[in-house]
Structure 1
Amino acid sequence: YTVGLAATCWAIWLARNRATFEKKQIKTPFEIVFSLCSFLLYWTGLQQGEDAKELRTGAEMIRTSTLQLLKMCGAVKQPIQ
């Protein structure tokens, strides 16, 4: 849980810094969630054994759930088939 909490805080901190210092507006909170997922996936390399596997699985679950939520909200346009 510590790694997840650290990634969450780091993603929020970076989004806040971009908004404050670079004047880049946060368009959607999903940006922060995807940033969180990228940190978690990157940090799996720092873990060993079962911890790395659990962290990767958790990050993938968060990303998949967020993508599904985006689709339900209509924020992601479906490609025409």
Structure 2
Amino acid sequence: MSGRTIQIFLPFGSPRGIKIAEITNRTVQAILIPRNKIDEAGQRSEVKNVGVYFLFGQDEDDANPKVYIGECRKLL
């Protein structure tokens, strides 16, 4: 198996902020958006594409981890 290169871009310069990762020579991107950076994420063109998203959290009653998986269409 050959190796791959993953590039991680920090659009606002902070490793604690939004991260955009992609495998070079592919069209797939992964975007990590911390909850407190949702408003800033709206400024990025990458979040306006078709995609699948994952929302992570915990159940209020028993603190078990939860995930919601959704899909979105391209915004015009």
TM-score scaled to structure 2, two decimals? Answer: 0.29
| Between structures 1 and 2, the one with greater helix share | 1
Give the TM-score normalised by structure 1.
0.28
Tell me: higher relative CO, structure 1 or 2? Use CA pairs within 8 A at least 6 residues apart. 1
Greater fraction strand: 2
